[in-house]
Structure 1
Amino acid sequence: MHDPRDDQEHRQRDGSDSVHGTMIRSPRAWALEQNDRRVVFASGAEATMFAESRPFRVAPHQLPAWKAVLPIGGHAELLQPGRPMVAAPGLIVPPQLAHSCASTSPYIALFIDSWLLPSCPGPIRLDAGEVRRLLAALGTPDSDGPGTGVDLAAGYTELRALAGCPNPLDPRVAHAVHLCTLRDPDMPITSIANEVGLSAPRLRALVRQDVGIALSRLRRWGRLRSAITDLPDSTAALAAATAGFADQAHLTRTARDFIGRTPASLRHTEA
């Protein structure tokens, strides 16, 4: 028989309250515990991270950022349309690659903005030693998974040692992508263009040339990160509105398109 105490919502104060389970919140990170599941989110200038305490599979998606899938004790699987499955102790997936993926164990998914690593045509397999070095750089114990104090800067540094250093961006492009992905994702593109001294069409062309991704798509990625940062503290509808989405449905579509899962899957157990 189902025990309603299993679903009891505990509220713990550390900068904010939880919505489901026990949630610990810092300015750009949160940890949510519900029954036997733990989800951790953190976002910084160098990287964004999801981590889960159990295996998970995401639907087909196309992310405008790099993704490193780092299983803790298992392996990662990646499937592209019309191609054989790729499986390895860890994987680095380049931006804009249409794929679905899974981890057979608890895992960390580390997201790096597209201009912070050099371009690559396909996924990069990581061996077990490389995965261990990345997990150690993040400050992740082998069994417990990360906390909200995860070292994203050190994780990015180790990832760059594996993938290589990117070419520098045009300073105007660098400022524009920083504005629309980190500082102010809701800022209109015309305002961003004015701030860097370019017309909007010229800025769009330069971003596509230097980054390889449309500025509007990068801004949606920035909005998605902002919305997910706010999820434990509010409803999905309020998080969507605060981040600049038209409505909750727009947020959900963007999450499915970019990360292959819904915002609700971060807060609830999905079958």
Structure 2
Amino acid sequence: MNLPPLFVLAPETGFFVLRSNDAHSAPHRQWGTAILFGLEGPVTVLHAAGSTQGRIVVVPGDVPHVTRSRGPLASVLLDADVHRATLQALQGRPPFTVESSIVLSRVSALVEPGHPDVERGISRAVEGLFPTGSAPLGDGRIARLLGMLGGDEALPLPVLAARLKLSAGHVSTLFHSKVGIPLRRWLLWRRLVRSMPLLRVGSLAQTAALAGFADQAHLTRTCVRFAGYTPGHLAQALCPGA
């Protein structure tokens, strides 16, 4: 099978689907749970504990790894901010394999060209593997903080801290302990998510500016850091005819 690349975005429901004919990612650590489907053969994930190989490999959130596949691959990412239940259920685990020929067959069919509802089909296919959806943060102050951030531009940390009646250092520590990553990394991840629908081949500098990155190089570094691929690679998959 040699199909054009495909990148399906559904940020509001927390699903991102990338299909490619092979994979050779840079080292990265995504903010969310990645489920890697080897469509015609195994996929290999290299990580600190060694390597994991199988037709379905699950990489829990924020685990540094490299993805390798010599054949077509479908990568499904469950955004940790939407699917916190998945993040919490798999927290502390290294990458692992799942044996489910039914799920593999479903996903293989869903990423075929022209499927009318990839995002909904993928969500139904994976929700039986482990918990999905929201989960409590365990601290109302962090919920207030996320509401203040609003998913767009962040207010200065001293302003946020003052509104919460905490010190800036306390806010940073509390955020890291309850959310799971440092506040600065989280802000970069949200900025990257905002940039994804804007990705276009030949217009990455404009995308970077619209999403709030300092420049195209900043966008590229952030994309590789979280996704393992350059924004140009994702842009080609998002608009394969460009």
TM-score (norm 1): 0.69
**1:90 and 2:56 are equivalent in the alignment:** yes
1:48 and 1:60 map into 2 onto residues whose CA distance is 21
Letter in 2 for 1:257: R
Corresponding residue number in structure 2 for 1:55 = 22
**2:85 aligns to what?**
116
SS of equivalent residue, structure 1 residue 60 = coil
Q: Does 1:174 align with 2:140?
A: no
Matched position secondary structure for 1:141? helix
CA-CA distance at 1:266 after TM superposition: 2.1
Which residue of structure 1 aligns with residue 34 of structure 2? 67
Local SS of the residue matching 2:17: strand
**Structure 1, residues 93-113: CA drift from partner, whole Å, max 9, x if none?**
112211101343241332321
Aligned mate of 1:45, from 1, 6, 12? 12
| Alpha-carbon separation, structure 1, partners of 2:199 and 2:148 | 22
Size of the aligned set, in residue pairs, is 227
Q: CA deviation at 1:234?
A: 7.2
Unaligned stretches of 5+ in structure 1?
1-34
3-state SS in 2 of match to 1:40: strand
Deviation at 1:40, TM superposition (A): 1.9
**Cα distance in structure 1, aligned partners of 2:165 and 2:32:** 26
Return the alpha-carbon distance in structure 1 between the equivalents of residues 27 and 59 of structure 2.
Answer: 13
Name the counterpart of 2:207. Answer: 239
**Against the structure 1 CA distance between its residues 91 and 220, is the aligned structure 2 distance closer, same or farther, given a 3 Å change threshold?**
same
Structure 1 residues 99, 193: closer, same or farther in 2, change over 3 A?
Answer: same
Whether 1:230 aligns to 2:198 is yes
1:125 aligns with 2:125: no
Q: Is the 8 A contact 2:103 2:125 kept in 1?
A: no
SS at match of 1:96: coil
Given the superposition, is the C-alpha separation of residues 229 and 194 from structure 1 closer, same or farther in structure 2, using an over 3 Å criterion? Answer: farther
Q: Is this contact kept in 2: 1:94–1:121, CA < 8 A?
A: yes
Aligned partners of 1:75 and 1:105 also within 8 Å: no
The answer to whether residue 147 in structure 2 is matched with residue 184 in structure 1 is no
User: What does 1:138-157 correspond to in 2, within 5 Å?
Assistant: 141=109, 144=112, 149-151=117-119, 155-156=122-123
Distance 1:242 1:76, change over 3 A: same
- The CA deviation string for residues 63-90 of structure 1, in whole angstroms up to 9 with x for no partner, is 2322121233433210124x54211111
**TM-superposed deviation, 1:52:** 1.9
1:220 maps to 2:220: no
**Contact 1:65–1:113 (Cα < 8 Å) also in 2:** yes
Structure 1 residue 53: Cα displacement: 4.5
Q: C-alpha separation between the residues in 2 aligned to 1:43 and 1:49? A: 6
8 Å contact from structure 1 (residues 64, 96) kept in 2: yes
Report if the CA contact (8 A) 1:64-1:113 is conserved.
yes
Alpha-carbon contact 1:59-1:261 (below 8 Å) kept: yes
Q: CA deviation at 1:248?
A: 0.8
Seen in structure 2, the aligned counterparts of structure 1 residues 89 and 168 have a Cα distance that, compared at 3 Å, is same
